[in-house]
Each structure stands twice: as C-alpha cells, then as structure tokens.
Amino acid sequence: MDERFIVFDEQSKKALLEIMKKSVDSEGFIVENDNPTERVLTKEGEEIKLEEFAGVRKGSEIFIKNDINSILELAETFE
C-alpha cells in the first residue's frame, strides 16, 4: 500500500504552519507570518481556516481543504 496522506491534529497543524512561516489569525484563518492580513488561499482562491486545513501540495503552497471535493481532486493527481 502506498501511503501518501498524514492526518494532523490541531497542534500538529499549527507546528506545520509554523515551519512554513504561517500562523492563524483571530478569526481562525491561516495567514502569512510576515503579513498577518494576508490569508493563504486554496487552488480555488478560497481563504482557509485551520479547522479546514488538510495539507499542502508537494512542491508548492497550494493549501488543501478537508472537504470531499478537495480530497478527491488531490487523490486524482496521484493516479
């Protein structure tokens, strides 16, 4: 079985974001550390909250939501 997914709890998500120089604003959205008013976006251009964060695509900063459509689209890229 080819393992490509890792599940993160909230603390792990925050640690991962810290490595990526990101943080969470007062409304729960993921933002750039050096510009806290700049929220990160999904491929579809949506702002993303920590609770929705499922991961980042390899080699990029395309943030992935934890909804079924985003996960299925990500899975299709591995085929």
In a domain, 37, yes or no: yes
Residue from 62, 37, 76, 3 nearest 53 by CA: 62
What's the CA gap between 6 and 20, in Å, rounded? 17
In a domain, 1, yes or no: no
State what percent of residues in the chain have pLDDT above 70: 85
Mean pLDDT of the chain: 83
Higher pLDDT, 65 or 51: 51
In a domain, 5, yes or no: no
* pLDDT confidence tier of residue 6, bands split at 50, 70 and 90: low
Count CB atoms within 10 A of the CB of residue 42: 17
pLDDT confidence of residue 32: 94
Q: How many domains does the chain have?
A: 1
Residue from 7, 20, 59 nearest 30 by CA: 20
In a domain, 63, yes or no: yes
Look up the domain containing 18 and give its range.
Answer: 10-77
